[in-house]
Amino acid sequence: MYLEEMFGLKGKVAIVTGGGQGIGQVVAQGLARAGATVVVVNRNNVHDTVKLIEDAGGTALGVRADVTKEEEVDAALKTVMDTYGRIDIVFNNAGICMHQSTAEMTPADFRYVIDVNLTGIFIVARAAGLIMIEQGIKGTIVNMASMSGSIVNFPQWQASYNASKAGVIHLTKSLAMEWVEHGIRVNSISPGYIATPMSTENPPEMNDAFIRLIPQKRMGDAEELMPTVLAMVSEASGYTTGSDFIVDGGYTCL
């Protein structure tokens, strides 16, 4: 019973952006297993994740929205409020990466990465935070950062991604301090290299280079992020806000 009380999410409504695949899909399923009603927000496909959750006996709703468009985010959250009447948890996960050197990247591409990875995080967090404040809900927001917000990756160059994730970490700390008086906790998670469908798009030699630099000599599995996420969104971390949790197999220790 103690663990259920500390880590259980029964009665909570959780939003997962970028929940249509990869880490977002895994986390959405994990939150559902912990008892939350999960709203899967994605720009395109939401049905696959919803079906996975429902087939496992959970409750889920799919809503399409582009996190860079404020009107679409507002409409998505209105759907959540009209359906469930509350928002307790946001896993703010939607993001992209471009492997381009600064010499190759255009300012337009740079702006696009920042718009999705940082401005999108801000738009979703702000919209959800305002609802939590208005409703008096002591909610929790977990923003998807990356170890790339603390280090520079090699051998690929990705200044835009690194800058966006560093911004997410500091935005997280800023929101945590602004909203602490409302009982809203804001933290971030910084994964290292995680084996997702996206990583299979990399050239094999690039993945091999990643693994050689990871002290544990392997990529992480998305499921290995779930214990950290669950701790952050549950009562188990009630005294934790403004923190960034690195889950990287030891990469950033080097």
Residues 23-80: tens digit of each pLDDT: 999 999 999 999 999 999 999 999 999 999 999 999 999 999 999 999 999 999 999 9
Question: How many Cβ atoms sit within 10 Å of the Cβ of residue 177?
Answer: 12
Which of 148, 164, 165, 237 does the annotation list as catalytic?
165
DSSP 219: P
Q: What would the two tokens of residue 122 be?
A: 């801000």
Mean pLDDT value of segment 76-93 = 98
Query: Quick one: pLDDT at residue 254?
Result: 85
Mean pLDDT value of segment 228-235 = 97
Which of 12, 148, 160, 161 does the annotation list as catalytic?
161
107 pLDDT band, cuts 50/70/90, is very high
Residue among 241, 246, 62 at smallest CA distance from 141: 241
Q: Which domains does the chain have, with CATH numbers?
A: 2-246 (3.40.50.720)
Task: With a cut of 60, say whether residue 5 has pLDDT above it.
Answer: yes
Query: Quick one: pLDDT at residue 142?
Result: 98
Task: With a cut of 90, say whether residue 230 has pLDDT above it.
Answer: yes
Helix (H, G, I), strand (E, B) or coil at 179: helix
- How much of the chain exceeds pLDDT 70, in percent? 99
**Residue 174 is a catalytic residue:** no
Integer Cα distance of 189 and 169 in angstroms: 9
CB-based contact 247:189 (threshold 8 Å): yes
Query: Quick one: pLDDT at residue 198?
Result: 72
119 pLDDT band, cuts 50/70/90, is very high
**Residue 234 is a catalytic residue:** no
Which of 146, 190, 234, 237 does the annotation list as catalytic?
146
Q: Which one has a higher pLDDT value, 59 or 198?
A: 59
Query: Quick one: pLDDT at residue 178?
Result: 98
**Residue 146 is a catalytic residue:** yes
Q: How far is CA 228 from each of CA 88, 93, 243, rounded to the nearest angstrom?
A: 17, 14, 12
